[in-house]
Amino acid sequence: MTTLDTWNEAQAWEKNWWLNARAQHSSEILKTSYVARLLFIDRGLPDKTVIDIGCGPLSLLLRVPVRSGVALDPINFEDLEGAYTHKGIKRLLKTGEEMTTEDGHFDEAWIYNCLQHVQDPTQILTNAMVVADTVRLFEWTHIPPYQGHLHELTAEILFKPFHAAHWHVAMEATGFLDYGILGAGRYAAGIYQRTKS
């Protein structure tokens, strides 16, 4: 877990990156399209309610059809927020650590490429298991912390809460993705479902 001052600095860095690196947004959309395929959501889930935790300004909810979507992120991305309004996606300006059942209950929670920015990755994974019946997860791993990125994530850190809670593992994978000139890296991904009692 990180200090609040360190986290606030990371959020300011993240907001500044998104608002001032708009030329790179198209490559970020391409990268998340790969993530959507890996998590089997690229064709949409039109009968599902979804919360996108750590959505940033370019959530998959903007491109993947769902029955209804909620985009959760503590940063207000100013004029980039208009895309959510235009698509009828509810926006929650809060952290994943603050997320509770008062925010709703969802068929699915999506968490991708955000946990390196947060105060407590494990708490967010635990909260996702409270508010959703299925959690889809994709994170880059084995990247040492740097400005704006507070944690070095590993598959063990990411998978452990689901295993400890005895959730059904529908899919789990680790590997290396190479986007050519867009970059490359190691990742961990999983699809987890609440075990029916």
**pLDDT for res 148:** 84
Total-model pTM: 0.94
Number of domains making up the chain: 1
Q: Check pLDDT > 70 for residue 83.
A: yes
Give the range among 99-113, 117-131, 170-184 with minimum mean pLDDT: 170-184
Q: How far apart are CA 179 and CA 174, in angstroms?
A: 16
The CATH number given to whatever domain includes residue 73 is: 3.40.50.150
* Contacts with 82 (C-beta within 8 Å, 6 or more apart), sequence order: none
CB contact at 8 A, 32 and 113: yes
> Could you tell me if 109 and 48 are in contact, meaning their C-beta atoms sit under 8 angstroms apart?
no
Residues 121-173 pLDDT 10s: 999 999 999 999 999 999 999 999 988 889 999 999 999 999 999 999 999 99
Q: E strands along 60-167, which residues?
A: 66-72, 90-92, 106-112, 132-140
Report whether 4 contacts 153 (CB < 8 A): no
The contacts of residue 98 (CB under 8 Å, 6+ apart) are: none
13 Rama sector, left if φ>0, alpha if ψ -120 to 50, beta otherwise: alpha
d(C-alpha 184, C-alpha 167), whole Å: 30
Whole-number pLDDT of residue 197: 64
Band the pLDDT of 42: cuts 50, 70, 90. Answer: very high
Q: Which residue segment(s) compose the domain that 114 sits in?
A: 4-193
- CA quadruple 99, 101, 104, 110: dihedral, nearest 10: 50
User: What is the C-alpha to C-alpha distance for residues 75 and 55, in angstroms, rounded to an integer?
Assistant: 10
Task: Tell which residue, 183, 75, 90, 185, has the closest CA to residue 140.
Answer: 185
